[in-house]
Structure formats: C-alpha cells, structure tokens
C-alpha cells in the first residue's frame, strides 16, 4: 500500500515507493508548521524588542540627520540579509534614501583583506579606512559571536560609531560585549527562523528611523 498515510514515517522501508501523494501532504503540513513557528517568533521578537527598536532608531535618526552614514556586515546568509538592509536604507522603494553600504559588496576588497591580513579583519579594516565618529555600524550574525564581526564592532565603537548587533540563540558574545550599543536577540535555536526574524527586525528598524526623522523635521519647523 503506497497511500498509507503513515508511510512517510518509514522513508527507507520502501525504496520502490512510487506514489508521492503522502510525501507531498507531509511536506505541505511541515511547511505550514514551520511558517507558523516563524510567525510566532517574529511576533514575540518584535514585542520583546519594541523599546530597543525605538531607542536605537532615535539614535540612528539623530546621526543620519547630522550627516552620519550606515555600514552593515555579516557572513553567509547574514551577509545577504544585511546587504538587503543596506539597500533598503540607500535605495528604498518608498521614502528618502540614506547613505548606507554593505561591507561585503566588493569582492576585490574582501579577498585582498582576507588574503593579506586574515578573514578576521575583513570588516574592521574597512571601517578603519571609512568609519567616522557619527556613523553607524549594524552587524548581523545568528550566533552573535563571529570573530570578524566582533572585531569590526570593536573598531566601530573605538571610532565613535553607534553599534547595533543582531544575534540569535541567547545573544552570544554580542549580548555580553561593551562594544555593542544596541543588541537585538532573536531567541531561537534555528538559524533559519532567526534570520527570518532578523530580516523583519531590520525592516522595522528602518521604518522607525524614518518615523523619527519625520518627527524631528516637524519639530524643527
């Protein structure tokens, strides 16, 4: 019987399995369960970080208004998510653009630094060259402990930049570091679910920065 609803529990029993119906039903149920977990985590993460979003956005808005710029960085999937965030600031589909860059965008710089001074310094060395007091650094990491990201946050702090860290699990080294001014922790053990919540946190931070800047403009009139 290939259409027994419990067949999916015994995948290797039947290598001649030829009816995908129960597998497809199982996959759909699994997709819904994982999506529900993702929604629930996004909701609890936003709730837990509402005040931090407001205070970090206020400081970022103050810096952008004073000519500050944003640098984002991370590794792997976190690199792509922080690049999406930098793009959202610099080329927003709606609203005013703000100066923002991802430090992973240039392969020549990444490979030159990785090869010559080591991967641990690929972000920090770029901040030594570009970062100034009044600027902002946003680091994304699921572990909250990546060595090159920690080194860059330390360098950013030393230069008078405002430092924001996105972490998962229990916050890792970000949560304990004096180099992180605002630490957003997504409390989950799943790298996938952490990244989904971090993407939404970043989006909400961007929205809040613009809300703050609009408020300042009204007050200045």
Partner 1 sequence: MGSDATTTAIDRGLDADLAADLAATSFTLAKRFAAGATMWSIAPGWEPHALHIAVEFIHPVIVGKRALPAVAITGPDVVDVVRVSVRPGDIVVAVSGADDPQVRSVMQRSRAWGVTTVWIGSGERPKAGMADHILWLGDPDPRVPATGGFVLFYHLLWELTHVCFEHPGLLKERDVCTDEVCVTCSDEGRLGEVLAATADGMASVRTANGVETVATTLVDPVAAGELLLVHAGTAISRVEEEAVR
> Where does this chain bind partner 1 (CB under 8 A)?
8, 11-12, 14-20, 23-32, 34-36, 38-39, 42-43, 46, 76-77, 79-81, 83-85, 87-88, 92-95, 142, 191-192, 195-200, 202-204, 206-207, 210-211, 214
- Smallest gap from residue 125 Cβ to partner 1 (A): 22
Q: Which is nearer to partner 1, 179 or 196 (CB)?
A: 196
Q: Which is nearer to partner 1, 114 or 134 (CB)?
A: 114
- Smallest gap from residue 179 Cβ to partner 1 (A): 25
Structure tokens of 121?
Answer: 């310094």
Q: Which is nearer to partner 1, 14 or 106 (CB)?
A: 14
What's the gap between Cα 112 and its chain centre? Answer: 25
Spell out a b/e string for 84-104, using b for 16 or more CB atoms within 10 Å of the CB, else e: ebbbbbeeeeeeeebebbbbb
- Smallest gap from residue 8 Cβ to partner 1 (A): 8
Q: Which is nearer to partner 1, 141 or 177 (CB)?
A: 141
- Smallest gap from residue 207 Cβ to partner 1 (A): 6
Is the CA virtual torsion 85, 67, 129, 161 positive or negative?
A: negative
Judged on CB neighbours under 10 Å (0-12, 13-18, 19+), 217 is exposed
- Smallest gap from residue 131 Cβ to partner 1 (A): 22
Q: Could you please report the per-residue DSSP string of 112-147? A: HHHHHT-GGGTTHHHHHHH--TT-EEEEE-SSS--H
Structure tokens of 157?
Answer: 């702090």
Structure tokens of 148?
Answer: 């090159």
- Smallest gap from residue 100 Cβ to partner 1 (A): 12
Q: Which is nearer to partner 1, 72 or 177 (CB)?
A: 72
Q: Which is nearer to partner 1, 17 or 154 (CB)?
A: 17
Q: Could you please report the per-residue DSSP string of 41-91? A: HHHHHHHHTHHHHHHHHHHHHHHHHTT--EEEEESTHHHHHHHHHHHHHHS
């Amino acid at each position: 019987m290939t259409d027994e609803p419990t067949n999916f529990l015994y995948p290797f029993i039947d290598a001649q399995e030829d009816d995908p119906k129960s597998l497809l039903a199982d996959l759909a149920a699994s997709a819904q369960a994982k999506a529900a977990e993702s929604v629930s985590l996004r909701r609890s993460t936003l709730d837990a970080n509402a005040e931090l979003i407001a205070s970090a956005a206020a400081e970022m808005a103050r810096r952008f208004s004073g000519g500050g710029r944003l640098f984002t960085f991370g590794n792997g999937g976190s690199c792509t998510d922080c690049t999406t965030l930098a793009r959202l600031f610099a080329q927003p589909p709606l609203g005013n653009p703000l100066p923002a860059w991802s430090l992973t965008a240039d392969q020549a710089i990444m490979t030159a630094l990785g090869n010559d001074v080591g991967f641990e310094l690929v972000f920090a060395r770029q901040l030594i060259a570009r970062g100034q007091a009044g600027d902002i650094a946003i680091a994304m990491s699921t572990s909250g402990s990546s060595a090159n990201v920690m080194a860059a946050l330390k360098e950013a702090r030393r230069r008078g930049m405002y430092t924001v860290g996105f972490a998962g699990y229990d916050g890792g080294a970000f949560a304990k570091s004096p180099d992180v001014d605002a630490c957003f922790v997504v409390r989950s053990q799943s790298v996938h679910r952490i990244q989904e919540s971090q993407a939404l946190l970043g989006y909400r931070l961007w929205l809040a920065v613009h809300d703050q800047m609009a408020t300042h403009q009204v007050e200045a009139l």
